[in-house]
Structure 1
Amino acid sequence: MKPIKVPRKPRKCPKCGKTTVVKILYGMPTEESLQLAEDGKLVIGGCCITEKNPDWACTNCKVEYIKVK
């Protein structure tokens, strides 16, 4: 599924209505970032970074969001 384009990070997910939209972290994760991901405070996005990568994701329904400029 393609990321939804938004002008800024949604306060709550438009799809499920939960306030579980968090930042997607790209690159090599640290122990701290792995713990934050386990706690649902961020999503690990992998090590390949492009301009088309989504910026945020809902940890409840897995919808991804990308900031439009």
Structure 2
Amino acid sequence: MNLIKVTSKPRKCHKCGKTTVVKILYGMPTEEAFKLLEQEKLVIGGCCITEKSPDWACTNCKVEYIKVK
């Protein structure tokens, strides 16, 4: 897994340079979440979240970002 530490959501992906970095949703997705997934405006992250779970992902190259303090 490619995981990059950042202090805030990147405007552009650090790997591919595209503006396709979106939020990762954890838990049970709603109908609206599935619509956003289809539009590549959201990534589904599953039901389990830990302190090492990424916050954002690039929908183009699949790099994931985690917010550090």
Give TM-score, length-normalised by structure 2. Answer: 0.96
Aligned to 1:47: 47
5+ long unaligned stretches in structure 1: none
Distance in 2, Cα, partners of 1:38 & 1:56? 16
Aligned to 2:63: 63
* Per-residue deviation, 1:58: 0.2
1:19-67 deviations in whole A, cap 9, x for unaligned? 0000000000001001101100010000011111000000000000000
Distance in 1, Cα, partners of 2:66 & 2:6? 6
Distance in 2, Cα, partners of 1:17 & 1:2? 15
5+ long unaligned stretches in structure 2: none
Code of the residue aligned with 1:52 in structure 2: it is: K
**Aligned ranges for residues 1-69 of structure 1 at < 5 Å?**
1-69=1-69
- Report sequence identity in percent: 83
RMSD after superposition: 0.7
Distance in 2, Cα, partners of 1:25 & 1:45? 5
Q: Which runs of 4+ in 1 moved over 6 A?
A: none
Q: What's the secondary structure of 1:37's corresponding residue?
A: helix
